[in-house]
Homo-oligomer: A and B are copies of this chain.
Amino acid sequence: MRPSGRAVDQLRPLKITRHFTKHAEGSVLIECGDTKVICTATVVSGVPRFLRGKGQGWITAEYGMLPRSTEKRVDREATRGKQNGRTVEIQRLIGRSLRAAVDLKKLGENTITIDCDVIQADGGTRTASITGGFVALADAMNKLVESKRVKTNPIVSQIAAISVGVYKGVPVLDLDYPEDSNAETDMNIIMNDKGGFIEIQGTAEGEAFSDEHMVGMLAVARKGIAEIIAAQTAALAEK
């Protein structure tokens, strides 16, 4: 039934490559099928003005797409002079989600910026960014601990994200672009490793969706998140 031939609750092949580039404190290439995102974590001392003197840190995120990461070239936002609404919405979601992984007090007055740059898009770039961004964040935190800039690791829970949707009337897991552009409902779910919800955003694209659809989407999401968390854990266990 699915264009890709996958089962309704089947993830695309997921590959997480750490140390993808050499300069960043955390640098991850995440590949979810044909969706490929570079996620880097940068640590700097100090916090934004609104947090100064409060004895806590900050996590923020920025998101971008290479102009030709998509089927049709999108304008370079640096050239247009502003980020579009979709970009702003996505990077706010990534930042908010990853802050839920961290005890900002333990981070001290440091700021970590997660940059998520899509080099190839095939649906699910925002959830891939969160999943990959968490791994980059974890690497950066480990460096902070090793270098004794923080005393205890500020990570308090593991965060992963996935998209689900209603496609031809059926709840399905991990929409690729052909599904995403035809789904009746599109929902992004961010959860932690204890099964709690961090964020849930669902949108009816045509018809409104029902309680029943919602239950179905949450069920496949829960399965997918568990597999993704396992993949993150495995990646982080590699030397």
Q: Is the CB of B78 within 8 A of A64?
A: yes
Q: Is the CB of B68 within 8 A of A40?
A: yes
Q: Is the CB of A157 within 8 A of B62?
A: no
Q: Is the CB of A67 within 8 A of B115?
A: yes
In the assembled complex, the CB of A119 is this many whole angstroms from the nearest CB of chain B, namely: 6
Interface of A is mostly: mixed
Q: Does A182 contact B (CB under 8 A)?
A: no
Range for the number of chain A residues in contact with chain B: 35 or more
Q: Is the CB of A68 within 8 A of B115?
A: yes
Q: Does A208 contact B (CB under 8 A)?
A: yes
Q: Is the CB of A191 within 8 A of B203?
A: no
A83-113 contact mask (Cβ, 8 Å, vs B): 1 or 0: 1011111011000100010000000000001
Take A89-B92, A115-B76, A203-B96 as given contacts and tell me if A22 and B208 are in contact as well, using a CB distance cutoff of 8 Å. no
In the assembled complex, the CB of A40 is this many whole angstroms from the nearest CB of chain B, namely: 4
Q: Is the CB of B202 within 8 A of A199?
A: yes
Per the bound structure, the CA–CA distance linking A69 and B44 in Å amounts to: 16
In the assembled complex, the CB of A199 is this many whole angstroms from the nearest CB of chain B, namely: 5
A64's contact among B76, B87, B207, B218, by CB below 8 Å, is which? Answer: B76
Q: Is the CB of B62 within 8 A of A67?
A: yes
Q: Is the CB of A23 within 8 A of B67?
A: no
A87, A203, A210: residue with the most chain B Cβ atoms closer than 10 Å = A203
Pairs A–B under 8 Å by Cβ, sample size 14: A21-B36, A22-B34, A27-B68, A40-B66, A62-B76, A67-B115, A73-B113, A77-B78, A78-B78, A96-B203, A192-B208, A194-B208, A197-B208, A211-B218
Task: Give me the interface of A with B, judged by CB distance under 8 Å.
Answer: 21-24, 27, 34, 36, 38, 40, 42, 44, 62, 64, 66-71, 73, 76-79, 81-83, 85-89, 91-92, 96, 100, 113, 115, 117, 119-121, 157, 191-192, 194, 196-204, 207-211, 214, 218
